Structure 1
Amino acid sequence: MPDLFPEPIAKWIGQQSLQLIASTPLSGGCIAQVRQLTLQTKQGNRIQLVLKQMPGRAAEQLTAEMCGLQALHLSEPHALRVPQVVMQEGDCLLLEYLSPSPPADDFDTQLGIGLALQHCSESDCGQFGFDTDTFCGGTRQPNQWQTDGAVFYARQRYQVLATQSLQLNLITAGVFDQILRLCDKLPELLPGQPAVLLHGDLWSGNVICGPQGQPALIDPAVYYGWAEAELAMTQMFGGFSHRFYQVYEANSNILPGWRDRADLYNLYHYLNHLLLFGGAYHRDVERIVKYYSG
């Protein structure tokens, strides 16, 4: 066992009578350090797991990811696969390793049907939010339960990030005021929808091709919210096929015209990217705010 290997993981490996064979860095960890662990049982069988670490960060971020993965795993039967949680302690999260493979011929069909099934999972209380705050990238997402979807998105999505952006001088007071006016108009601008289980950070980089060429989701920022908000984010950076949208629409209750509302939902993610990555996203924020707040 390497001297600097995380103590909670080293302890777990010992308790399971496993031997560490290899620890290989994995790409794609913008926030966390991610490694593939190869372990061996006493019988000589090999086990592959994924270790995520966030040194110096609060354990709550990995705890939130664990809770989100567990919620997705327990959603509707035949919904999309996610890595199963093995254990989480401190700044370490140990996950099932989904071995990559070439996409199946019906990959996009499976993705569309699977997401539609996931969006059939409504919160027990019919409310918006989640049992814990989650994180979209490194940004905290407040998830206090709220009965009104427009109020939830206004107070716990747009206003929270607009306030942080103003405090960091990333937006002007004028843009901030426009966002507040936009929030007041959300009930007029967006249709009422049930609170359904969302991945919360669904861009193409968080969709992988797992075993047998099947789609799987990673790195969630889970909460119960509007399905249209999830669909809107899939359009931000591309990577989702026409077939995916065609199948999703045929297997869900998504309302007509959701594409026309996508920018308004994505204002939240543009504000988040402005906070995380800086001024390149300022133009998108101003464009959307100007269009909707007039």
Structure 2
Amino acid sequence: MPDLFPEPIAKWIGQQSLQLIASTPLSGGCVAQVRQLTLQTKQGKRIQLVLKQMPGRAAEQLAAEMCGLQALHLSEPHALRVPHVVMQEGDCLLLEYLSPAPPADDFDTQLGIGLALQHRSESDCGQFGFDTDTFCGGTRQPNQWQTDGVVFYARQRYQVLATQSLQLNRITAGLFDQILRLCDKLPELLPGQLAVLLHGDLWSGNVICGPQGQPALIDPAVYYGWAEAELAMTQMFGGFSHRFYQVYEAHSNILPGWRDRADLYNLYHYLNHLLLFGGAYHRDVERIVKYYSG
């Protein structure tokens, strides 16, 4: 076993009487270090897992990801596949490895039906939020339970990121004030919706193809929120297929005109990208805020 292998994982491997055969870096993560582990039992059976590490980061980020993956793991037929969590300790998260395969012919259909099913899952208390704060990229998402969706999104999404962006000089005081005015107008701009289970960071890079060619979700930023906000996020960075949206709309209660409101929901993600990566996203934030704030 490598000398610098993380102690919690080395301990778990020993407890399971496994032998580490290979540790291979995986691409795709911009926040965590990700490796594929090949392990072998005493009987010679090989097991593949994924190890995510965030050196120097608080353990709570990976603990939040674990909670999110567990919440997304629904038992109903047609539910989307999610990697099983093996263990989480400190800056280490050990997951089931989903070996990639070519997408099935009905991949987009499965994805549409599965997401519609997920969006029928409401919180036990019927409120917006989650049992713990989660993280979208490297940004903390406050998830204090709130009965009013507009209040939840205004205070725990838009205003939180706008305040952080102002403190880092990513936006001006004038643009910050416009965002506050926009938050005041949200009841006029958005329809009432139930709080449903969201992946929270559902762009195309966080949907992979599983072993049987089925869609699977990774890297969640889970909370209970508006389904329209999730669908809006799917349209960023290339979007999903036309077939996916057809199937989703046929199997859900999504309201007509959600596409017209997508920019308003995606303001949160543009603010997050502005906060994380800087200038290139300022134009999008300014455009959306000016259009809606009046």
C-alpha separation between the residues in 2 aligned to 1:291 and 1:86?
46
Provide the residue aligned with 1:3 in structure 2: 3
Contact 1:206–1:218 (8 Å) recurs in 2 = yes
Alpha carbons of 1:99 and 1:233: their partners in 2 closer, same or farther (altered >3 Å)? same
Task: Supply the RMSD in Å over aligned alpha carbons.
Answer: 0.7
Q: TM-score, normalised by structure 2?
A: 0.99
| Identity across matched positions, percent | 96
Contact 1:190–1:261 (8 Å) recurs in 2 = yes
1:29 offset after TM fit, Å?
1.3
Alpha carbons of 1:77 and 1:201: their partners in 2 closer, same or farther (altered >3 Å)? same
SS in structure 1 opposite 2:111?
helix
C-alpha separation between the residues in 2 aligned to 1:202 and 1:126?
22
Deviations along 1:55-107, one digit per CA (max 9) or x if unpaired, are: 00000000000000000013644211110000000000000000000000000
Contact 1:75–1:118 (8 Å) recurs in 2 = no
1:265 offset after TM fit, Å?
0.1
C-alpha separation between the residues in 1 aligned to 2:77 and 2:166?
43
Please list every run of at least 4 consecutive aligned residues from structure 1 whose deviation after the TM superposition is greater than 6 angstroms. Answer: none
SS in structure 2 opposite 1:212?
coil
C-alpha separation between the residues in 1 aligned to 2:146 and 2:168?
28
C-alpha separation between the residues in 1 aligned to 2:154 and 2:75?
26
Deviations along 1:251-292, one digit per CA (max 9) or x if unpaired, are: 000000000000000000000000111000000000000000
Q: Which runs of 5+ in 1 are unaligned?
A: none
Contact 2:78–2:110 (8 Å) recurs in 1 = no
C-alpha separation between the residues in 1 aligned to 2:28 and 2:73?
22
Alignment of 1:196-211 (within 5 A): 196-211=196-211
1:239 offset after TM fit, Å?
3.9
C-alpha separation between the residues in 2 aligned to 1:59 and 1:77?
33
Q: TM-score, normalised by structure 1?
A: 0.99
1:190 offset after TM fit, Å?
0.5
Q: Which runs of 5+ in 2 are unaligned?
A: none
Provide the residue aligned with 2:217 in structure 1: 217
Contact 2:86–2:94 (8 Å) recurs in 1 = yes
Contact 1:76–1:118 (8 Å) recurs in 2 = no
C-alpha separation between the residues in 1 aligned to 2:169 and 2:75?
40
C-alpha separation between the residues in 2 aligned to 1:88 and 1:60?
10
Provide the residue aligned with 1:227 in structure 2: 227
Contact 2:87–2:94 (8 Å) recurs in 1 = yes
C-alpha separation between the residues in 2 aligned to 1:272 and 1:10?
35
